[in-house]
Amino acid sequence: QVQLVESGGGSVQAGGSLRLYCAASGFTVSNTRMGWFRQAPGKEREGVATISSTGTTTAFPDSAKGRFTISRDSTKNTVTLQMDSLKPEDAAMYYCAARRFPGGSYSTLTASSYDTWGQGTQVTVVS
């Protein structure tokens, strides 16, 4: 069964750090483009990090550059999002996503480019 399960969310003070985990089953993250997205109430889902299927390339929006890091562990079949220097505006539900069916043009940080999603984990940043 194909599944993505996020964990690691919680409440943190502004300036603090959190590490989010995404455990995948039913497919292999090591040959799949993976991404992390977030969605705050009343806002669109936005991409905050992505790692290529080869694991050699990562990308972040300006809002996350220098603060967020994405990595994967092929032995555990997991993807991790390390978030540092958190700001109140980082508060949102965070989702792990996989692009399991590649093909055609796509944008790496656009939600519609991904076909498999987890249930999300909540991140709260207290100022």
Judge contact between 20 and 35, C-beta under 8 A. no
Reported as type and span, the H/E element at residue 59 is: strand 58-59
- Mean pLDDT for the chain? 96
DSSP state of 68: E
Q: What is the pLDDT of residues 24-58, one digit of tens each?
A: 999 999 999 999 999 999 999 999 999 999 999 99
Pairing of strands 10-13, 92-99: unpaired
What integer pLDDT is reported at residue 6 of this predicted model?
98
CA separation (Å) from 42 to 1, 15, 45, 93? Answer: 32, 24, 10, 12
Return d(Cα 47, Cα 115) in angstroms, integer.
Answer: 14
What integer pLDDT is reported at residue 98 of this predicted model?
98
Q: What is the pLDDT of residues 48-88, one digit of tens each?
A: 999 999 999 999 999 999 999 999 999 999 999 999 999 99
